[in-house]
Structure 1
């Protein structure tokens, strides 16, 4: 149906990603002492692994949690300080607030940076969290040294038409009525590739089925009006994107506005390259980090 198809287009552009994983990554013995982090009384769950002046801060997208970064924590934690967090409303973080937009989620990231006193931070955000880490980079210009999007920033600068908006509203209304079915259809149509394994498919579909639908829908609806192009200018950072070549980035507006960027594509993967092809993903992220 057209509303589902349009939802796929919009969300694949980086406005959302999905999955909530109950598997949480434990800390290694080299991890710093654990500090309780709260953002306006909301508990923010996180893992903190390794020691280094440079910190890789991994942030998930729609309904996802820090468990999806387990392979990256293992790979990079030997050389860097690696922090993976659950945004409020997802994973093991608290739900006791009523704001679920980019700015509220960015403040979760800000609280982690502040409370852990991180000074040389590379922000890495998957899907919806591309916008979240972008805003956090603006909030923390003196601490953030790098900005990395994972399968997002598909077309910065694209402006929704009135027709787009109406179809998006229709898709959201359908999501409110039939959350699991609509989300499942969306994932099957847009987020998996033909080579995506059944294990990955099952993991994602199980996670979205168990997501808090009220928070998930609110966070999805509140991301559509975030204008990435002026925010990229404001951040003043070169944008790095690692994503699937199945849905490549349209760089037209970034080129026109002279926004610095570098795109790395992983061949033939779905929306979750960090778990679908973790070895390829880690090598590309390593390249980005070396440039930073």
Structure 2
């Protein structure tokens, strides 16, 4: 690190995040921290999460107090070698604060916004993020799980978009997409994604699917192998393991925030990550016209009983390489015996994560996913 001063800043977790509340520091000024260490808990309007250290070295200053509400990009602290004198660090902090205040005042609110596309009989909403100055690798389409939407990738899409175009898609019945779902089974959802690829003229893509979206990704790789370069599943369905019916029942039956809490807490190994605003958003979505009917139809056709997708016997037939990521503490979908998976599947387990492993272990997950995709480019 030598004489470099590295700022620690309030992260931007998703397009909707504008500010974060500093909850708890896990390190003290003067501590030596390592890159990837969990250093401070931050809560946004969507989720509470822990920020990892961006670099290794002494934590020379903490400039944000617990309880402070700060905008995205604001300075939290600095990492610098002991060879950097205090006056230089103080000057760096003062300069950063001055520049940040000026840039914040001049910055507009414009940024990437969700778009819609007509895909056959469906209107599908998606968010595209891509490198600004180069084409990047093979594009990636991110497919959420049951009851989710494109915002489930708020910790993942922007980092992945540094290397390739990314499309976070709302499946039919979810998010901003069509709420009328004529074909709520796995093949129907899969064909909706194929129609999305056709509408945007995406000839070949990487598929990254979470939960039910993992089954959609695997099924698409079977149905249209020439369209799929690689598959990543995160706590994916389709591996023949059980889905916790309590999650589906609690989610479908929830009418108020306290009812939804029972379902949401099953998603995370650490239930403290569930925020009041997250629950409010989930309930607000369910109250939209057509949503409850769509979700019930999808649950019955895709996730419950004999309709639960079991692609185990065909996984070895998938031509595209597969990366399977699982949170070991998943309470929604039973983690498969990874040692028994076909040889074309590379597996990784996050010991301290649950069903939302891509959020709970976001930095590590992003690094593993991008490294895997770069191998396939």
Q: Which residue of 1 aligns with 2:122?
A: 42
Structure 1 residues 270 and 157, CA, compared in 2 at 3 Å: closer, same or farther?
Answer: closer
Aligned partner of 1:103 among 174, 187, 190: 187
Q: Which residue of 2 aligns with 1:243?
A: 326
Structure 1 residues 91 and 176, CA, compared in 2 at 3 Å: closer, same or farther?
Answer: closer
TM-score scaled by length of structure 2: 0.58
Aligned partner of 2:301 among 195, 200, 222: 222
Deviations 1:202-242 (A, max 9, x none): 45433432322222222122113222113424433333111
2:297, 2:367 → 1: CA distance?
A: 35
Counterpart secondary structure, 2:176:
coil
Deviation at 1:124, TM superposition (A): 0.4
2:156, 2:298 → 1: CA distance?
A: 25
1:174, 1:84 → 2: CA distance?
A: 26
Counterpart secondary structure, 2:302:
coil
Deviation at 1:146, TM superposition (A): 0.6
Give the strand-richer structure, 1 or 2.
Answer: 2
Deviations 1:14-70 (A, max 9, x none): xxxxxxx9959x9967x9xx9852233220111222233501110101111112223
The reply to whether residue 209 of structure 1 matches residue 288 of structure 2 is no
The reply to whether residue 66 of structure 1 matches residue 150 of structure 2 is yes
Could you tell me whether the CA contact under 8 Å between 1:53 and 1:120 is conserved in 2?
no
The reply to whether residue 129 of structure 1 matches residue 213 of structure 2 is yes
Deviation at 1:266, TM superposition (A): 2.2
Give the helix-richer structure, 1 or 2.
Answer: 1
The reply to whether residue 185 of structure 1 matches residue 225 of structure 2 is no
1:262, 1:253 → 2: CA distance?
A: 10
2:226, 2:322 → 1: CA distance?
A: 17
1:213, 1:23 → 2: CA distance?
A: 24
1:27, 1:111 → 2: CA distance?
A: 29
Structure 1 residues 109 and 138, CA, compared in 2 at 3 Å: closer, same or farther?
Answer: same
Deviation at 1:182, TM superposition (A): 6.4
Deviation at 1:98, TM superposition (A): 3.0
CA-based RMSD = 3.5
Q: Which residue of 2 aligns with 1:266?
A: 350
Structure 1 residues 57 and 173, CA, compared in 2 at 3 Å: closer, same or farther?
Answer: closer
TM-score scaled by length of structure 1: 0.73
Could you tell me whether the CA contact under 8 Å between 1:125 and 1:133 is conserved in 2?
yes
Unaligned runs of 5+ in 2: 1-13, 18-108
Give the number of the structure whose alpha-carbon radius of gyration is greater: 2
Structure 1 residues 59 and 27, CA, compared in 2 at 3 Å: closer, same or farther?
Answer: farther
